[in-house]
Amino acid sequence: MPVLSEYKKKRKFDKTPEPGPKKKHSRTRRMFVIQKHRASQLHYDFRLEAGGVLKSWAVPKGPSLDPTVKRLAMQVEDHPVDYAKFEGVIPEGEYGGGTVMVWDYGTYKPENTDDVEQAIKKGELKFSLNGKKLKGSWVLIRTRDRQWLLMKHRDYYTMKDDVTEIAPVSILTRRTLAEIAEDEGGNVKKAATGDPRRIPERTGVKRRKQGQKPKVWTT
């Protein structure tokens, strides 16, 4: 099967602002990104760069820094590396329609292996994250088919508090989901259901013109 064929099949690129299906590498070749995505349901998309694409899992409840917590992670289609920069609104009616936030990004380092793709095929990948919000040692373990568990290993970065509540806004623009939807012409009411209630209005950057791209890191 051609690289990114499933990603391409699910999207109409004349209607969605998502990047096209191009295989490439970041500068480090070990980038990770977590995108907070309010589609039909709120979830977090966890992505690790390997083999010129982003290996991807949908994590309904988001990552946890508590090593006693096991988070369900459903493996989804590979995404292009350029997707790590995407923050905005996927039009309603399109696949994954809703608001997308770059919640965290950084680099990762596989543990006990140099072949990430092979480790994923075998169903277990241990790695350490060096992000803005998430750091330390983690593991992904497949339980069956596309179903995996994402767990934090006990280390210096272990914490009982819910990191998704403590650090709810975009790492790129400091916007909430509702603010992103407002700036990009999306459904503000729908997006707001993914924001903690205690966040005051307009916590992020000044309102941008619709369609204007935020500053992003280089890959």
Give burial (CB, 10 Å; 0-12/13-18/19+) of 48. buried
173 has a pLDDT exceeding 90: yes
- 184-214 confidence digits (pLDDT tens): 999 999 999 998 876 656 665 555 555 555 5
pLDDT score, position 196: 84
More confident residue, 104 or 208: 104
Which amino acid does the sequence have at 76?
A: V
- The per-residue pLDDT for range 106-125, each reduced to its tens digit, is 999 999 999 999 999 999 99
Look-up: residue for tokens 């480790």? 119
Q: Please state, rounded to an integer, the average pLDDT across all residues of the chain.
A: 92
**pLDDT score for 197:** 72
Query: Does the predicted TM-score (pTM) go above 0.85?
Result: yes
**pLDDT tier, 72 (very low <50, low <70, confident <90, very high otherwise):** very high
Interval 72-92 mean pLDDT: 97
What single string gives the DSSP state of each residue in the chain? Answer: --TTHHHHHT--TTT--SPP------SSS-EEEEEEEESSSEEEEEEEEETTEEEEEEETT---S-TT--EEEEEEEEEEGGGGG--EEEPTTSTT-EEEEEEEEEEEEEES-S-HHHHHHHTEEEEEEEESS-EEEEEEEEEETTEEEEEEPSSTT--SS-HHHHS-S-TTT---HHHHHHHHT--HHHHHTTS-TTSPTT-SSPPPPTTPPPP----
Does the structure show a pLDDT above 50 at 56? Answer: yes
On the question of pLDDT at 64 being above 90, the answer is yes
Per-residue buried b or exposed e for 67-87, using 16+ beta carbons within 10 Å of the residue's own CB: beeebebebbbbbbbbbbbbb
Q: pLDDT, tens digit, for every residue of 5-38? A: 999 999 999 999 999 999 999 999 999 999 999 9
- Which residues make Cβ contacts (< 8 Å) with residue 119, sequence separation at least 6? 110, 113, 125, 126
Other C-beta atoms closer than 10 Å to the C-beta of 91 total 15
Q: Annotate 150-180 with b (16+ C-beta within 10 A) or e (fewer).
A: bbbeeeebeeeebbbeeebbbbbbebbbbbb
pLDDT on residue 219: 44
Domain-by-domain residue ranges, the chain?
Answer: 5-192
